[in-house]
Amino acid sequence: MPGQGRANALVVVVAEILLLALFVATDAQSLGGYCLNDNPFSGEKDCTQFADDTPKDAASSACAAGLAMPGQSGEYSESGRCPLYSTPASFGGECSRVTDQGISVKSVLALSDGGPFGDCAGIEQVCKTFIQGEFLPSPACGGSLEDAAGGEEVGGKTESGPSSNGGSEDLPDKQQRNTIAADVETLADGFEFTEGPVWIPATGADPSLPPSTLLFSDMRADTIFAWSDERGLETFANDSLGANGKALDGEGRLVSFRHGPRDVVRGAAMESATVLADNFQGKRLNSPNDGAVSPADGSVYFSDPIWGIFIRDPQGMELDRHSVYRISPDDGEVTEVLPNTAMPNGIAFSQDGEVLFVSDTGGLAVHPNPDLAATEPPATIKAWRLDNATGGVVDPDGPLWAIEDFSDGMCVNDRGLWTTRGGMAPPKHGPPGLVLRDPENGEEIGYVDIEDPTNVECNAEDGKIYVTAANKVVRVTLLE
């Protein structure tokens, strides 16, 4: 009967609609979900998208353990996608990587107004330097990234492409002219985040240290490695206790500046090293970061920002500032030589020991201490005259010179002051690289093109310069 045929057809259509709805719902549920967590650096939420085939239990556990940032537990949504995908104007791109547990994830990166890392070039730097993944730009940054959940482009193309942070065609004429000819050789790579290089000479050092060897840290792996031409790459300490910067004192003993115990120590064995400083006026240090030994009197100067405890224990800060300190070689007294630094980092001396150089990475707007939260001052490098009688700075408020630029670790040799303009430096300062400066006035002489340098050792016997650079270590041979 005709009516019966129409009824059967209607049943088929309804069944097809129900099957389609079931398929769509199943497809939506098949997404690996995402993790939202607080980012103490930006003050915003980080969102990490899991691959579609990620098991829910694995994704949930990774999120709870701190996926976007170690120790920052997140809130897991077992289906769907990061909210940022639905706002094309703010969606800058994805940073794709595989975690240590073998989970494929994509950090979904947002564009923002203000700040040095809110534009396309800035979020690309964040991806490469901090997240250490592959950056896939969205249409808002000149890319053609497809929507991770739906297979369609997110938003429309924009006329402007991503900002450059290293192309010579976008740099001032002076910076284009001042590239230093050099051979840059990768000695070892595949690390998580390298820092703190120090060269152990063939003779004159503590005999428990390997001669003619470079020591450096992989901060995230909490390991100190050793590299030499003779033996290649070896493990020096399986538990570095957060040792960041390193130096040798006048007797060739290793001095380490450690984030874990928040101290400065002397000795080759991390577990039994002699503590030189762990407090100032009875309050625990923040997290000694880098330092140097004065060639004039053997005193140890070190920077004490909050980076080492910022993620681990931001409320554990006992001091109300970030300073530069001096440890007396005579009685071990710890004195504050620069009390007004924002985030002090690299430390170096002139070859005669009369001038102190300090890099300061500037204000931190999301500092856990509200009294210290500020966007100012900007990143700077400064030089101070030292008082030979006291070992302190002659005038803490009157540096010999000051320039606005970004540097992590620093080093001085016969060529001048070497600074490290890392990948997190605002692009306005110039390309990332190893920068040579005139110690008399701070003027930039030139730079060696190195991606994401973090620290530098420039006094090895072979005349080479050794640079830690994010996930690798390189050796620089100057050709001029």
In this predicted model, which residue has the larger pLDDT, 158 or 89? Answer: 89
Q: What is the mean pLDDT of residues 440-460?
A: 95
- Tell me the two tokens of residue 48: 């990490």
* Contact (Cβ atoms closer than 8 angstroms) between residue 242 and residue 308: yes
Using DSSP, state whether 123 is helix, strand or coil.
helix
The pLDDT value recorded for residue 224 is 98
Buried-exposed string 11-21: b where 16+ CB fall within 10 A, e elsewhere: eeeeeeeeeee
Q: Which helix (H) or strand (E) holds 342?
A: none
* Contact (Cβ atoms closer than 8 angstroms) between residue 427 and residue 440: no
User: How does pLDDT run across 301-360, given as a tens digit for each residue?
Assistant: 999 999 888 877 777 899 999 999 999 999 999 999 999 899 999 999 999 999 999 999
Using DSSP, state whether 315 is helix, strand or coil.
helix
Compute the residue count for the chain: 480
- Edge-first strand listing for the sheet containing 45-50: 75-77, 34-38, 45-50, 104-110, 91-98, 134-137
Task: Give the span between the Cα atoms of 155 and 82, in whole angstroms.
Answer: 15
The pLDDT value recorded for residue 125 is 73
Q: How many H helices and E strands in the chain?
A: 5, 32
Confidence of residue 19 (pLDDT cuts 50, 70, 90): very low
- Tell me the two tokens of residue 320: 């109300």
Q: Is the pLDDT of residue 174 over 90?
A: no
Task: Give the span between the Cα atoms of 471 and 224, in whole angstroms.
Answer: 14
Least confident of 110-124, 127-141, 164-178, 438-452: 164-178
Stated pTM of the model: 0.77
User: How does pLDDT run across 250-266, given as a tens digit for each residue?
Assistant: 999 999 999 999 999 99
Confidence of residue 40 (pLDDT cuts 50, 70, 90): low
363-372, 373-382, 385-394, 407-416: range with highest mean pLDDT = 407-416
Q: Is the pLDDT of residue 92 over 70?
A: yes
C-alpha neighbours within 13 Å on the C-beta side of residue 356? 34
Please state, rounded to an integer, the average pLDDT across all residues of the chain. 84
Buried-exposed string 39-70: b where 16+ CB fall within 10 A, e elsewhere: ebbbeebbbbbbeeebeeeebbebbeeebbbe
The pLDDT value recorded for residue 113 is 73
